[in-house]
Amino acid sequence: MQSSSTVLQKRELPKLMACMTKSSLETFRTKALFSMAFLDSSGVRRKRRALHECLIKELKENGFSDAAEYLQDLIYDNIQLVNEDEIGIVVDLRKRKDYLEHISDQLQKAEEARGRAHTKKECLYLLNLALFYAEKEKGILWLAEKFYQAAIAVGSQYLVDGGRLKAVCKYHYGSFLLDKFPGADPEEAFVVLTEVRDSAMGKVVFFISLNLICLRIFP
């Protein structure tokens, strides 16, 4: 039978840090305070809740109720599409911080423009959103279609240019349906582009000047 001295092994003592002086403690405290990330109420909320919920709440708090409602509808539509997606290609916006923040920012600017009765500028913010997501991956093209339709709806209210802004939105939308959107009905694209062609009759600079205008990104 082994003796207790051979069974019990000598335990290694933990290494002790040198005692900190009052001065070093104060220095350590100061460094910790300056390196600490201070969070406001929005920052705290983002730590506790999903980002899309936070962005919707922030838009409402800042007075952009229409933008908040539109973003909420987009999230709802997205959830439906994700649930129905059998091959896993639909982008889940709830997992894309970059997309969510970009959309929220641009919708806020669009609503600001509407509040100032700048219909043309509001339309172009929406159109630029459509053009941006039309160049992204296949699983986000549904979002581009939503923004194209919204831009056309707003452009229809801008009549001082004889309907050219609306027509250029429809031109991009028709081209999108024809060239990029999977499963789109070619007949729908043909109808849209035919309407654009008819509206452009006799307008010399339609495809030049307005195409440049609609691609302009506002700060």
Average pLDDT over residues 132-149: 95
Local structure of residue 12 (DSSP, 8 states):
P
Letter for the amino acid at 126? L
Q: Name the residue ranges covered by the structural domains of the chain.
A: 50-214
For residue 85 the two structure tokens come to 């997606």
The pLDDT value given to residue 5: 53
The tens digit of pLDDT for each residue in 39-56 reads: 556 666 667 788 999 999
The DSSP secondary structure of 146-186, one letter per residue, reads HHHHHHHHHHTT--TTTTHHHHHHHHHHHHHHHHT-TT--H
The pLDDT value given to residue 41: 62
Letter for the amino acid at 144? A
The tens digit of pLDDT for each residue in 163-190 reads: 889 988 998 998 898 888 777 777 887 7
Highest mean pLDDT among 22-36, 100-114, 184-198: 100-114
Average pLDDT over residues 72-85: 96
Considering only 26-35, 74-83, 135-144, which range has the smallest mean pLDDT? 26-35
Helix-strand-coil split of the chain, %, nearest 5 = 70, 0, 30
With CA atoms as reference, report the closest residue to 151 among 181, 184, 173. 173
The pLDDT value given to residue 159: 86
In this prediction the pTM is 0.73
The pLDDT value given to residue 11: 66
